Amino acid sequence: MNSIVLDLEWNQAQTRDREAPGLTFEVIEIGAVRLDEHGNQTDSFSCLIRPCVYTELFYRVREVVGISMKQLEAEGIPFLDAMERFWKWCGKDPVFFTWGDMDLTELQRNIAYFGRENPFAFPLFYYDVQKLYSLYCLDGHARASLESVIETLALPKKWPFHRAVYDAAYTGCVLSQLEKQSWQSMVSVDYYRPPKNAQEEIYLVFERYSKFVSQLYQSREEAMEARNVSSMVCYKCGRNVTRRMNWFSDNNRKYFGLAYCPRHGWLKGKIRVKHCDGQVFMIKTMKLTDAEGARKIKAKSELMKKRRMEKAAEKGLRS
């Protein structure tokens, strides 16, 4: 496997009104390391980019990133040239590892902004080492900073942080501490390019849950009417399961549902609404749960009803 650990540094506008449409963040450095099957670093890539949209460092970027604008102007090359070099360096069928879920998205956004064809595979699977670390060393939800994890693992601080190639190397160090068997099935999906049609829709089955990424729809209502989105399937046996309630939303970003598989028991569903150029696409996850988990979802679904009834009761008492 051609494993590439990627890290970027980027800059942004001083104020929102000075933001260039389509480019919130401008990449100023690409760094990467290549890992062999044992997790050892075999090669590295480092390239500064001369920015042409935001030519002044935003103060927070200046505080965090160890690069000056002078340095970028003197040593940096145009983004597309850097990207070309990087892509060549990556080689055949690269598999990407990052710290966090933003780097591949922002890299593609820059590629689109500067008018290059998107070279990445579709769908773009990758490994988020920050997430993997949380799954196996934290609660699976919390996100730790790279530096804090290096400290926790008592790994040597050989280089400064917040330089792309060094952060990539550190990320590789963290990855090599994790058991490969445990993480190799835990791929993440990059959502920069959502599926364009039913054929491109993505369905993944993991040990503990399944994930479905829908095509684009005009509205969340239209999406929720689509069978692929609203259907509930037991990811353990693949059969359609009895829905125990209709999908309901607790706010405008998520829907919840509950079903029962005769062989595997309760299944809870969650659908996240993601926006993309005025359209929406849905990410559905299905997870096995127990009677207690099922009870919680039922309670949640009836929360609105309960409130309504309570209000009605209060009103009744008053009158």
Partner DNA sequence: GGATATACTTGTCCCACCGT
Partner DNA sequence: ACGGTGGGACAAGTATATCC
Shortest spacing between CB 301 and DNA, in angstroms: 12
Q: Kindly state the smallest distance separating residue 262's Cβ from DNA, in Å.
A: 28
Of 38, 92, 227, 315, the one binding DNA by CB under 7 A: 315
From the list 61, 169, 229, 241, which residue makes contact with DNA (rule: CB under 7 A)? 61
Q: Is 319 in the site for DNA (CB under 7 A)?
A: no
Among 68, 308, 310, 313, binds DNA (CB under 7 A): 308
Hey, which residues between 105 and 164 contact DNA (CB under 7 A)? Answer: 130, 141, 143-148, 162
- Residue nearer to DNA on the CB measure, 22 or 262: 22
Stretch that binds DNA, among 9-17, 39-47, 233-241, 289-297 (CB under 7 A): 9-17
Beta carbon of residue 93, minimum distance to DNA (angstroms, whole number): 26
SS3 per-residue string spanning the chain: CEEEEEEEEEEECCCHHHCECCECEEEEEEEEEEECCCCCEEEEEEEEECCCCCCCCCHHHHHHCCCCHHHHHHHCECHHHHHHHHHHHHCCCEEEEECCCCHHHHHHHHHHHCCCCCCCCCCCEEEEHHHHHHHHHCCCCCCCCHHHHHHHCCCCCCCCCCCHHHHHHHHHHHHHHCCHHHHCCCCEECCCCCCCCHHHCEEEECCCEEEEECCCECCHHHHHHCHHHHCCECCCCCCECEECCCCEECCCCEEEEEEEECCCEEEEEEEEEEEECCEEEEEEEEEECCHHHHHHHHHHHCHHHHHHHHHHHHHHHHC
Q: Which of 102, 187, 189, 202 binds DNA (CB under 7 A)?
A: 102
Judged by phi (left if over 0) then psi (alpha if -120 to 50, else beta), residue 234 lies in beta
The site string for DNA over 227-266 (x = CB under 7 A, - otherwise) reads ----------------------xxxx-x------------
Does residue 80 interact with DNA by CB under 7 A? Answer: no
Residue 65 sits in the site that holds DNA (CB under 7 A):
yes
Q: Cβ of residue 130: shortest distance to DNA, in angstroms?
A: 7
- Number of residues counted as binding DNA (CB under 7 A): 43
- Cα distances (angstroms) measured from residue 59 to each of 11, 14, 15, 31: 10, 8, 11, 22
CB of 196 to DNA, least distance (A): 19
Binding to DNA (CB under 7 A) within 162-181 occurs at 162, 167
Q: How far apart are CA 111 and CA 122, in angstroms?
A: 15
Stretch that binds DNA, among 2-10, 120-128, 196-204, 289-297 (CB under 7 A): 2-10
Residues that bind DNA (CB under 7 A): 7-12, 15-16, 19, 24-25, 58, 60-61, 64-65, 99-102, 130, 141, 143-148, 162, 167, 221, 249-252, 254, 272, 274, 304, 308, 311-312, 315
